[in-house]
Amino acid sequence: MKKIFRIVLALALIGSLAACNRKETYKGLTPYVTYNSSANLTVREDAGYLTVPVRVVNKSGEAFNVTVTGIDGTAVQETNYNIVDPNTGVLSFESADTVKYITVGVKYIEGYTGDKSFGLQLTSATNGVDIAAFDSLAIKITDADHPLSDILGAYTVNCTIYNSGLVATTYTATLSAVDGDVTKVSCDAICPMGLEISGCDVIGQVSDDHKTITYSVGQSLGRTFGYGTVYLYGCHYNGGYYLDEDDIVFTATSDGFETKSGIAFVDSYVWPSYGGFVLGEQDGVTNVWTKQ
């Protein structure tokens, strides 16, 4: 039986109806239909189906239709995906409906072919409902046969940081594939203070046997914070905070990875972003990552 994954995504449809061939307002709002402005989804190619809820807000109580179209990218309709429901391409809201669902079938292709992407677009609506500017939804299909699939995913991190004192902390970091290079992974939260900096991904080189992940120090996050551009560095604490020039190496364990390296995001003035950093071996601490 194919698995069904429901991605909880509110795609707002602010709907009202027209009368006498003119648009009406509902409680002072002009009716329009739209996806969530930041909408994007990711689904594995072996998920079977992706179900996207579409909701109506400020509904006036009458029926209307919305046309849904698949927009091919690197993923091609009928080869990588297809719109199962509505199979006619028309999503119909009856008078009592407050939510409807678009069901997309995702097709598994054996062997690694890389991640694929496509879109869903709202192209028209009836009964005087407008199409808003945010009319499309981006969807990525991740390849289930990625060579690094055994290590990709979310990890629970247990570590100790220094931020005006030693503090034990737990957070989540996710290893993701890097487009165009199956030997590398991207980590979204290698250091906990990086959780406060959007776009803090850093790239690690995976060994052939998947036993180590090496992050080169000096990587730029490509953004500024505080006094300048933010970089990744190894570090340790010894009555003060010191940068290390050695690469940061994670070693595989039975249920995840661990590193004895200290880790910090620092700006161009060599100051730890948010005033903290992960402690490591020189501080008597091992950072443990457990696969979720």
- pTM score > 0.75 for this model? no
List the chain domain ranges.
4-142, 153-291
C-alpha neighbours within 13 Å on the C-beta side of residue 161: 21
Q: Which of 2-16, 40-54, 169-183 has the lowest mean pLDDT?
A: 2-16
- Which carries the bigger pLDDT value, residue 15 or residue 272? 272
Single-letter residue type at 5: F
Tell the residue number behind the tokens 């054996």, with chain if given.
110
Q: Is the pLDDT of residue 14 over 60?
A: no
Q: Which of 81-85, 104-108, 270-274 has the lowest mean pLDDT?
A: 270-274
Q: Does residue 86 have a cis bond before it (omega within 30 degrees)?
A: yes
Contact between residue 233 and residue 247 where contact means Cβ atoms under 8 Å apart:
no
Q: Is the pLDDT of residue 67 over 60?
A: yes
Give the CA angle between residues 215, 217, 219 to the nearest 5°.
Answer: 90
pLDDT of residue 137: 86
Tell me whether residue 67 is exposed, middle or buried, using C-beta atoms within 10 angstroms of its C-beta: 0 to 12, 13 to 18, 19 or more.
middle
Cβ atoms < 10 Å from Cβ of 196: 11
State the Cα–Cα distance between residues 202 and 189, nearest whole angstrom.
8
Average predicted confidence (pLDDT) for the chain: 81
Q: Is the pLDDT of residue 75 over 90?
A: yes
Where would I find the H helices in 24-144?
none
State the Cα–Cα distance between residues 148 and 142, nearest whole angstrom.
12
Tens-place pLDDT, residues 127-185:
877 777 677 889 999 898 999 999 999 999 999 887 767 888 899 999 998 988 999 99
Where would I find the H helices in 138-178?
none
pLDDT of residue 58: 65
Q: What count of residues does the chain have?
A: 292
Tell the residue number behind the tokens 């939510």, with chain if given.
99
C-alpha neighbours within 13 Å on the C-beta side of residue 220: 7
Tell me whether residue 252 is exposed, middle or buried, using C-beta atoms within 10 angstroms of its C-beta: 0 to 12, 13 to 18, 19 or more.
middle
Q: Which of 32-41, 67-76, 273-282 has the lowest mean pLDDT?
A: 32-41
- The pLDDT of 218-234, averaged and rounded, is 82
pLDDT of residue 161: 85
Cβ atoms < 10 Å from Cβ of 72: 15
State the Cα–Cα distance between residues 219 and 201, nearest whole angstrom.
10
CATH value of 4-142 in 2.60.40.2030, 3.20.20.150, 3.40.50.2300, 3.20.20.70: 2.60.40.2030
- The DSSP bridge partners found for residue 106 are 81
Copy the structure tokens of residue 29. 């709002």
